[in-house]
Amino acid sequence: MDRKEMEERVIESYKSDEKMMILVYAQWCINNGIDPVNLYGKAYPDQLKNQALVEAMELTVPKEESEEIPNQTVLNVLQLFGNDDLAFLVQEQIDQQKR
């Protein structure tokens, strides 16, 4: 495998992992009664139409059909991909639910 092929594989792997992160976020929101698009818009007002989020929303299931996604899991995957602003808002939602 040459360097270019290796770089392409790394990029494709990152894109795939990023889509999974977005799906985890969206499903966590659904499971907790939060609008994922609205919350995302608060974190990133310049990116109101995120195509990856739109696609992830099509893959979410109702809360009753979903496995539980621990709060720490969604925070970890958001931070892993550098979505600190969104992770901050998710943490605020978690804190509100605890009250």
Give the integer Cα–Cα distance in Å for 28 and 75.
Answer: 10
Going from the first residue of the chain to its last (99 residues), give the mean pLDDT of each consecutive group of 10, the final group possibly shorter: 84 84 96 96 88 94 96 96 95 91
In terms of pTM, does the model score above 0.85? yes
**CB of 68 within 8 A of CB of 30?**
no
Q: Tell me, what's the pLDDT at 72?
A: 97
Chain centroid to CA 35: how far?
Answer: 12
Q: Tell me, what's the pLDDT at 77?
A: 95
